[in-house]
Structure 1
Amino acid sequence: MAESSQPLRIGFVPEHFSTPLYFAQKHFGLTATLIPFPSGTGHMITAIRSGEIDVGIGLTEAWVAGLGKEDTPGDGGYRIVGTYVETPLCWAISTGAKRPEITSVASLKGSKIGISRIGSGSQVMGYVLADQQGWLTPGASPYSDFVVLQNFANLRNAVNDGTADFFMWEHFTSKRYYDSGEIRRVGEIYTPWSSWKIVASTALLPEKNPDKRLLDLFKKLDEGINYFSSHHDEAVKYISTELDYSEADAREWLRTVQFAIKTEGVDLKVIQSCVNILRKAGVLAEGKGLQPESMLANGLDLIFSKTCVTIKQRASKMSSTIHARWLRQARFLSTHSRPSNPPTPIRTLRIRTTPHPRSRRFQSTKPSPDPNPTSESQARQTRRFDAILARTSRWLPKRLRPYLEKLRSAPFSHIAAFLVLHEITAAIPLLGLAYGFHRADWVPTAWC
């Protein structure tokens, strides 16, 4: 572990989700050494347990599985201390471009699944997929082999040369390679929980006295996220030039993601839900490993004096926005993510569990009832206007499209007000002219 006078060593996945972390260091002076882990969260688990990093920002399911398995070493090596992304993650299911024998998700039963590492999110979600598809049988594996391939590039090569039959990776990271024809999309699966969490080494978390450097990390991350939310053009430039994404994909991703309002703290109910689903999928065993309450850090709410009431109020206000983003993400992926070269019709995996936004809380506070989600009628209205505006954008000059994009992301009340004012300003002059002609008993026939 780094000495308290030294910068924290933070592990992260060098993908588009890391942009607020980059902004926190660039614009707000986050004092930390950022260490990329392109192979994912499974590698970070190994690194934090061996003392190579102090903090990790990675996938919820991998962190939970790492602490909940019966063979978890010692105290597990880390605890979940914060929330990074509130929206769920869409795992795209991919195979080789020339694998005609793989026609649907159903055809993947008993096949070879490529994963980055044992215990990684790509392996954990393989079990969740098997559970949703009904492939789990006591005492038997749903797949013929778990092929460990370390990183995304090796996974893509493996499904083309036959080393593996399919793999799962984040949708927008995969999309560029669908568009190029290197790999082919088979389906998708969403995490039924908020997708990214922050963990800290247990060495930073002595009882009731967490390392003060974590406070600075949370503060700078919050500032980086706030800056990210109000500087989308800068975010798109960074993602499209420094990371492996097109500008169009970066902009579309921005419409689907919601980062945490306050990164400090974790909703215990989210961790409990994740544990329950992983137990059902056979990843975790009842009564083995750490229990959900023990996966969180004690004392953060006492040392880091952030007002829980303020967090609850802000999270409640944002809940409908998060839910709307989830709906928008599902709509986009269902209409824009078809395989670029499908030899046969592809059936998309049906999502069994619909994520629901929750306000984050510290472990010591009692969870409150979930906020009411956006009504179905509002969702239908949003879909209808999205479709209308999408069609309209095709006919607009490129210089006017950014203004239409702002209208697309505006609340429904703004759009309705715009349409009402537009109709009023168009109708009132016509009615006024008609009334004037009627009162004067005169019609401008000379104009005809």
Structure 2
Amino acid sequence: MSSGPRPRVVLGVAGGIAAYKACELLRRLTESGHEVRVVPTESALHFVGAATWSALSGQPVATGVWDAVHEVPHVRIGQSADVVVVAPATADLLAKAAHGLADDLLTNTLLTARCPVVFAPAMHTEMWEHPATVDNVATLRRRGAIVIEPAVGRLTGKDTGKGRLPDPEQIFQVVRRAVARGVTAPDLVGRHVVVSAGGTREPLDPVRFLGNRSSGKQGYALARTAIARGARVTLIEANTGLPDPAGADVVHVGTAVDLREAVTKAAEDADCVVMAAAVADFRPANRVGGKIKKTDAEPEPIALAKNPDILAEISGDRARAGQVVVGFAAETDDVLANGRAKLARKGCDLLVVNRVGEELTFGTDVNEAVILAADGTETPVPHGPKEDLAEVVWDLVVSRFG
């Protein structure tokens, strides 16, 4: 963290069993240099006591508007925050927030906050899918709040489904991006974006494959920043091994053919498709059923077949009017010349061109690129975190929405 003022975070905790996971989120926030004030509901204290929140945050904990009333906490806490995050956000809390109710310190804080507000819902699947909750979430998003999609997994008891609190590390990443953006309104609210990430693997035999060095980190950065800007995100992931970003609907694929099918389906109602995955240009023409054995003889040449050109297909046959398509070009030489030729050939709106190689771009947390546009403009992005490049990509995408 810089030596400047510590970002001020209000961590609201509603009364759900997932409240204990907020302790891990609190730890990540404080260890990364944020000043955190925890505001639990009375119900939340049935799961984690006030002493725990106070000890972990180093700040006083209160739930009612009458505590330390001379400090006017029901107004001051929200006014002074750089970001408010509610984790877990129960169905009851979402309903109160959507309808402007203010019967405790947390709901008062939500009404007075003039900073980014992030809700991380956690509840049973039936409650999340109930029309009332659906309407409440839509209302909050329309007003500019970031409502993270819950994860799919084990709930309380034996139940399994959508409604699980996302991993605290992934919630932290959304909060971190929201703080970085400041009070800027989420400009992707109401938009569905599709992002592909990682590298495809083309099987040669049951144990070997043709692949590439892509880690998927740039695609995941694109997904996280889009979520922080309010988008509904579908992430098509190929062989990354990375944890699912909080709030993204993740589809796991292996080969280029699998990726094509998943992207084509997801793109049907998408406002934007970003093809950040490194898709293999070729696959073995014939997959061997058993492991190829090493012998004294020289191995047979491997015949290759072309994989589908997913970017060109998506660009040439837009699933809906006004859909923006973004491609990536990984080049080792004549970077810009090859990038311009690829942009013309693929027919996409934007092409992110970067130089790649061993220990360069692939697998790292930083990137450097030039974003070429179909209208002839070029936007250089200096060396820096992959989230910074992702923010520039979304800025350019938003400017192209009608």
With normalisation by structure 2, the TM-score equals 0.29
Structure whose CA Rg is larger: 1
* Larger helix percent: 1
